Structure 1
Amino acid sequence: MTADIDAFIQFLNVEKRASAHTLSNYQRDLRYFMQFCQTLALENWQQVQHEHVQQYIAQRHREGIGSRSLQRMLASIRSFYRFLMARQQGTHNPAKNVKAPKQNKLLPETLDIDQITALLEASPDSVLEIRDLAMFELFYSSGLRLSELAQLNLEDIDLDAGQLRVRQGKGDKARDLPIGKKAVQAIRHWLECRFDSDDSAVFISTKGRRLGQRSIQLRLDRWCKKHGLEQHVYPHMLRHSFASHLLESSQDIRAVQELLGHQNISTTQIYTHLDFQYLSKIYDQAHPRAHKKNK
């Protein structure tokens, strides 16, 4: 059984040119699965049945292995059996219809209005901080992804019209977005003192080069620590806050979906974690049978 795993890993390495990370994961997954099979006295891969794979995944789940890791384990086993079948070493794929437990969706981390205000109304002390504040305002104003902000070019923004174009969003889909008044002011301030550069990027370094995603993350972390925000803040948290605050105010999930560039509305629905008291208030005001009549 070990020899078959080694042959499969060699196939992935030579024929498929899989990454070292993939090779390591698949090899580890299959060795763990082999050990499990051996505890069941299974002597070769052909003896493994559908229920054995189910038992294995259930056991790893009880051990606290997360859904994504379990899905990868199943992918490893399925790929391995396809390899065996292609070599005439098997007639069935016991992992074919086995599914991993669904992963619980974690609510996105957001900042409240007071935290956003403290973050964005602090005064910049340098040209770099003027640039940084423009970036952070734009994150929260337009709900951009980190990659979208880093890729933004000068020709993509129209400050007079208060809008921008994301040319390559997720799935290579373009979309037009509004820019809020505060963000327009912050960007204008930055462009007035922007470093000389032939690069068309809106946000550049002191060397005139497009600012990378990691640099943006580090600048946000530095800004938050400087201004006493103890919570760890990352760029996507500003996007989450944009979506959450806009949805709470407008109750228009379709509009928020469009602004975020989500293909499926189910992705946007994660932001509907509204306060129960607020929902109760809306219910009491709107539902015709909710009002208590005085006798």
Structure 2
Amino acid sequence: MGRFEFTSVFSPELRLFLAFKESMGCNGASRIYYLRSFDAYCTEHNVRSFDREAIESWVRFKKSSQPGSSPSWMSYIRDLGRWMRTHENPDAYVLAESWKSEFYRPHPYLLSRKEIDAFFGSAADLQIASPWRWQSVAFFGLMQSCGLRTCEARRLQLQDVDLTAGFIDVLWSKGNRSRRLPLNDQLIDVLADCDRISRQQFGQHRSAFFVSLTAAPVDPATTGVMFNRIWNQAGLPLPLGGKQPHPYSFRHHFAYANIERWMAEGRDINAMMPYLSRYMGHATLDSTFYYIHTSPDFMDGYATLVKEGQGMIPEVGFA
């Protein structure tokens, strides 16, 4: 950790804390960025005590400099306070959880059954001189059926996809968490067709399961471009303002569809949420409950969109 320079009175604690996090497999650059920002703030303002006034003043300063940002970065200073309490500073202040309440997530675009069917019909008929011609249904179908993040689908390696046993391994995703997800028969067939054509085009050892024309892993920008191209080719309208459809909408739909299915089956939603949280790779149940409380009229309006199932690619069952 010597490569990260700190200048404040908390320099020793910051270095030891980051070394501890690194030993636990937490190597994210975001944590280092925000703790360096905290260190610089303490140096500039001559902060010498890790107390409530100092910590909350920095949090207010950081919030004002990046309005509307996710509150996830607050966990870094909160974790530092907890660590300091157990390492020779029992009076260190731990940032209150209530600071999270000031953040409001934007409402997602809710995909309808008609839009999903039209999208995958268009993806299956995509005429383009790139691997997206045969990858589109598999890539976006995997996001919808397994609720993957876009980055998780992009980063899948060949060894992470076991079509014989019928599962994928999502390794070292957000927060360095990993999970194994089962695949249903239809999705296995779609992925197998995609893999067969890719092997014909690029050989047995490509850089990722989904690749670009140069055999490199697909990048985030191209994923959005291809989503919009398929959407437009399907003749689906784009809203003139407000919420817009995008690849991540498939992950939202996965969550909504499962919640609504469980409600229709009369299951206890609170009892089922830990399964959904683990499946989607959430760190806490708060992230999962967001899908219930996103829209005031969600429970009434969205039920009609998913009552017939997941769409063209059926959901992966778990309970």
Q: Which TM-score band applies after superposition, normalised by the shorter structure? A: 0.5 to 0.7
Q: For structure 2, which runs of at least 5 residues remain unmatched after alignment?
A: 1-5, 20-28, 304-319
**Does structure 1 conserve the Cα–Cα contact (< 8 Å) formed by 2:160 and 2:169?**
no
Over residues 189-221 of structure 1, what are the superposed CA-to-partner deviations in whole Å (9 max), with x where a residue is unaligned?
Answer: 434532232325332222334434554344334
- Which of 142, 145, 160 is the aligned partner of 1:138? 142
Q: How many Å separate the matches in 2 of 1:193 and 1:210? A: 16
Alpha-carbon offset, residue 188 of structure 1:
4.3
Residues 136-184 of structure 1, C-alpha deviations (whole Å, 9 max, x = no match): 111111212233322142672327x7x3222525444331322363x44
Larger-Rg structure: 1
Q: Is the alpha carbon distance of 1:234 and 1:187 closer, same or farther for their aligned partners in structure 2, counting shifts above 3 Å? A: same
The count of corresponding residues between Structure 1 and Structure 2 is 253
Counterpart in the other structure of 1:37: none
Write the distance in 2 (CA, Å) between the matches of 1:155 and 1:57.
41
SS in 2 for 1:235: coil
Q: Which residue of 262, 267, 278 maps to 1:250? A: 262
Query: Is 2:105 aligned against 1:106?
Result: yes
Structure 1 residue 30 displacement after superposition: 3.6
SS at structure 2 position matched to 1:121: helix
Relative distance call for 1:235 and 1:11 in structure 2 (3 A) is same
Question: What residue in structure 2 maps to residue 204 of structure 1?
Answer: 211
CA shift, 1:243, in A, is: 1.3
The answer to whether the Cα contact below 8 Å between 1:158 and 1:164 also exists between their aligned partners in 2 is yes
Q: CA separation in 1, counterparts of 2:230 and 2:224?
A: 10
The AA in structure 1 aligned to 2:127 is D
Aligned-pair RMSD on alpha carbons?
4.9
* Per-residue deviation, residues 226-245 of structure 1 (Å, max 9, x unmatched): 54552644433211111112
Q: Which residue of 271, 289, 298 maps to 1:275? A: 298
Q: What amino acid sits opposite 2:162 in the alignment?
A: I
TM-score by length of 2: 0.57
CA distance in 1, matches of 2:73, 2:109: 28
How far apart in 1 are the matches of 2:202 and 2:282?
Answer: 36
Q: Is the 8 A contact 2:8 2:40 kept in 1?
A: no
Is the CA contact 2:228–2:246 (under 8 Å) kept in the aligned structure 1?
A: yes
2:211–2:217 contact (8 Å) kept in structure 1: yes
Percent identity of equivalent pairs: 15
2:226 is the alignment partner of 1:224: no
Change (3 A) 1:199 1:278: same
Structure 1 contact 167–175 (Cα < 8 Å) conserved: yes
Cα deviations across residues 53-97 of structure 1 (Å, max 9, x unaligned)? 48846975996956739938967x979xx8xxx9xxxx997x724
Greater relative CO (CA pairs within 8 A, separation 6+) = 2
Q: Distance in 2 between matches of 1:139 and 1:117?
A: 15
Deviation at 1:249, TM superposition (A): 1.9
Letter of the structure 2 residue corresponding to residue 206 of structure 1: L
Aligned equivalents of 1:49, 1:192: Cα separation in 2 = 58
